[in-house]
Amino acid sequence: MKLNVQIDVHHLTRVEGHGNIRVRIEDGIVQQAAWDVVETPRYFEVMLKGKHYSSAGLLTARICGICSIGHCLASVRASEAAFGVHIPDLASKLRLLAKHGETLQSHVLHLFFLAAPDFLALPSALPLLEANPKVVHLAQRLKGLGNAICDVVAGRTTHPLCIQVGGMTRRPDSATLLDLRSRLLTALDDLKATVDLFKTFQIPDFVRETEFVSLKGVDSYPWIGGDLVSTDGVLKPEREYTSMTNEWVDDNNTTKWCKVSRESMAVGALARFNNNHHLLLPEAQAVASALGLSHVCHNPFMNNVAQLVECVQVALDCLRLIDDIVAAPADAPVSVPVEPKAGDGVGAVEVPRGILYHHYTYGDDGRVVEADCVIPTTQNNKNIHDDIHALVRQFAPRNGMTDDKLELLCSMLVRAYDPCISCSVH
């Protein structure tokens, strides 16, 4: 038993944003085990007030540098719900394709550059450039493909341009889409190589029973809109998202905390898997089985594996979407005219780190009167905090445990959630 432990991680590395880990064990008693988010708040909900609907999505994309497409999609969905606008089928497919591109680039960024170095005992992925360039090239190709999909469909990966209220500004030409299609076929082999790499990683054996929240898929793995579900059996319509988040303010955090049926909750790839595993394509289910992921999984470290499973899922779904988009008639519309009106609307979107909600109330002039954004990492922060406590209690008594090893485990735990901290504070 490690009787005395002092861990003080200031601004954890290899995560987006600024958070601290503090652990103190004295005479075998855990006095403190905390995940504190100290990011500076930007007050997006305040800045949204008075904004015209045409710029709300542009502004809220800036909440996050990694999942800006997801933010833009949640934003336009909320506005479209408020105005009663129904976008054309082709626009829905283009949006989902852009979203898949973002999921691929974000998951690959996390898996290779943020998470993998811990499993390879490296400070970062940079030494791999010399030591194992094949792995870097693998990551580079996959992430490059995700970014290319976003560039082609949304105009840009970071802070998209083509996604607007009412649909999309343009339809990419078929030749470019078919080029992406052939790259996707190569990517399936690259993903197989990634699965082989992850099979060699020792995932820490840690379990804490958790309530997982996500969209509830009906006939396919869910990404944009629909009902909300938790592994504890709570089911709510999209509009009632606040009963699935119940935000409150903590004194030590600039992020808010969230819960549903328990003291904390979790969202993300693992939550989506736990609630919708039966809707994965067979190839993605096979990857889950090969990597030992089965539902309901309560080991947060397995979020890494769930992300990899989703990479396979979205790569395959991109092939289907590209075929559909290329086959659509040349004159198929990608947008509809928008008539703003007073009212409110909610947009729920599964972004890489979990379910994201935007809720806007509009005046007759199409300007925002009130706004609320609930971010995935906001929903995870209390769960990370509670996990650290359980992790420390479980691992500190083990033979040969040192402060450094425990600090690494705590850091790996936080990284497994792939937190987007500045996003969570916004």
Partner 1 sequence: MRYLGIKPKTPRIAVFDFTCCEGCELQFANKEETLPAFLAAVEIVNFREISSERRDDYEIAFIEGSISRDDEVVRLEGVRKKAKVLVALGTCACFGGVNRMKNAYDLDAANKQVYGDRPKPTLPVRAVREVVPVDLQIPGCPVSKAEVERIVQHLVLGVPYNFPAYPVCVECKQRYNVCLWDKGLPCLGPIALAGCDAPCPSAGLGCYGCRGPAPDPNLRELYETARKHGISDAEIQERLHFFGGFEGLS
Residues in contact with partner 1 by CB under 8 A are 11, 13-18, 40-43, 45-47, 49, 52, 55, 58-59, 62-66, 68, 109, 113-114, 117, 123-126, 129, 133, 136, 140-141, 143-144, 147, 155-159, 161-162, 164, 169-170, 249, 251, 254, 422-423
Q: How far is the CB of 126 from partner 1 (least distance, A)?
A: 6
Q: Which is nearer to partner 1, 6 or 169 (CB)?
A: 169
Q: How many CB atoms lie within 10 A of CB 270?
A: 31
Q: Which is nearer to partner 1, 12 or 271 (CB)?
A: 12
Q: How far is the CB of 59 from partner 1 (least distance, A)?
A: 6
Q: Which is nearer to partner 1, 175 or 327 (CB)?
A: 175
d(CA 416, CA 104): 16
Return the structure tokens found at 24: 């103190």
Q: Which is nearer to partner 1, 141 or 192 (CB)?
A: 141
Q: Does the CA dihedral 201-380-371-238 come out positive or negative?
A: positive
Asked if 45 contacts 371 with a C-beta cutoff of 8 angstroms, the reply is yes
- 184: part of which helix (H) or strand (E)? helix 174-199
d(CA 90, CA 167): 9
Kindly report the backbone phi and psi dihedral angles of residue 32, in degrees, each rounded to the nearest multiple of 5, phi listed first: -155, 140
Q: Which is nearer to partner 1, 63 or 180 (CB)?
A: 63
Name beta bridge partners: 362: 343, 368
Q: How far is the CB of 250 from partner 1 (least distance, A)?
A: 8
Q: How far is the CB of 422 from partner 1 (least distance, A)?
A: 6
Q: How far is the CB of 408 from partner 1 (least distance, A)?
A: 10
Q: Which is nearer to partner 1, 249 or 327 (CB)?
A: 249
Return the structure tokens found at 268: 């993300």
Q: How many CB atoms lie within 10 A of CB 127?
A: 13
Cα dist from 418 to 31, 42, 350, whole Å: 27, 21, 14
Asked if 258 contacts 378 with a C-beta cutoff of 8 angstroms, the reply is yes
Q: How far is the CB of 172 from partner 1 (least distance, A)?
A: 10
d(CA 113, CA 110): 6
Q: How far is the CB of 37 from partner 1 (least distance, A)?
A: 11
Q: How far is the CB of 143 from partner 1 (least distance, A)?
A: 6
Cα dist from 312 to 192, 284, 295, whole Å: 9, 6, 18
Q: Which is nearer to partner 1, 253 or 275 (CB)?
A: 253
Q: Which is nearer to partner 1, 245 or 422 (CB)?
A: 422
